[in-house]
A = this chain, B = another copy of it.
Amino acid sequence: MMPLTALCALRFPCAMAFLDHIHACNRHDLDRFRPLVVAGQHVGWVRGDVAWHLEHHADTFAVSEDMVGLHPRLAAPDDRSAAVDRVCQELAEQWKTPSLRGERYRVARRFSDTPLMTVDRGVVSLFGVRAFGVHVNGFVRDGTKLKLWVAKRAVDKAVAPGKLDNLVAGGQPAHLSLMDNLVKEAAEEADIPEALARTARPVGAISYCLEDQWGLKPDVMYCYDLEVPKGFTPHNTDGEVEHFTLMDVEEVAHRVRTTQDFKFNVNLVILDFLIRHGVLCPDSESDYADIVHGLKRGW
C-alpha cells in the first residue's frame, strides 16, 4: 500500500507551497502541555498524558496541575540525568514510550548555557526540551550556477526513511562542539575529509516546534554552507544514506515547492539556502517575508 505522504503528494501535485512545509513543522497545541521546570528554569514541555505517567514516580518528578519539576533531592546535574533515565527505562518497558538510544542531549534554555542535566536522545520529545542539530548544505559552483549534493536516507532509518536529506546532518550530542560534531558526521555520512569539513561556514539557525507522538520537539538546526570541489563525490560509510545525487538548485527548489520528497525539517534548511543565495526573490515570491520569518518560529 502506498504510504500516506506519497498519496498526499499525488493528490495535491501543484497545490503545495513553500509555506506548507513551515506549517507542517510547527503544528502543536501548547494547551495540552505543562512547563518542565528544572532549577527554576523553564526548559521544556510535558504533555498531560506523559505527566500522568511521571506522577507515579514521585521520587524523581514533582508533578502539579501547573508544571512538572524534579524532586528537590536531585540538585546535581548527574543525579538528575540518572534518575530521569531510570524512569524513562521503566516507562519504555511498561508503556512502550520511546526507548533509550545511548546518546546524550543537553537540557538548557540555550545551546551556550551550562546544561542543567542531560537526557537520552530517544526521550527528548517526551520532555519537550530544545534539541539542537547541525545541517550542512553541500554545494558546488558551476560558473554562475549552483548545484546541491542531496542524500537519500536509507530505507531502514527510524525517522523519515527513504526521504531526501542534506549532504550532512546530525543531532547535537551533549559533549561535542557544533563544529566537531559536523566533522564527525561529515566523515561518517559522506566520507568528507576533516580539512574540507572544517571549511563549512556557519550561516545561521532555523527553529521550529512540532508535536510528535509523545510530546514536543522545539528544535534548533544550526546551518552551514560547505562549498565542495567539483571533483569530490561523497560516499556513505555508516549505512544511513542510500546514495548521493548532485542536483541543480532550481530542481531542488522545484521539488521542495511541489513534493514531500525531502525530510520534513530539511525543507526548511533548503528554503533558508534558497533565500540566502537569492534563488527566491522578494519581488516575485509572494510569501517571501512569511517564509523568512517562518524559519524562526520555534524560538
Contact = CB atoms under 8 A, between A and B. Distances in A.
Given A178-B283, A296-B296, A112 B201 contact: no
Interface in A7-56: none
Given A222-B282, A293-B207, A277 B110 contact: no
Interface size class of A (residues with CB under 8 A): 20 to 34
A203 B277 CA distance: 6
Contacts of A205: 282, 288-289, 292-293
Interface centre among A281, A287, A289 (most CB of B within 10 A): A289
A287 B110 CA distance: 9
A9 B282 CA distance: 36
A276 interface: yes
A225 B201 CA distance: 17
Contacts of A213: none
Interface of A is mostly: mixed
Contacts of A93: none
A220 interface: yes
A280 interface: yes
A6 interface: no
A78 interface: no
Interface string A281-299: 1110011111011001001
A286 B114 CA distance: 11
Interface in A264-282: 275-278, 280-282
B110 A202 contact: no
A201 B299 contact: no
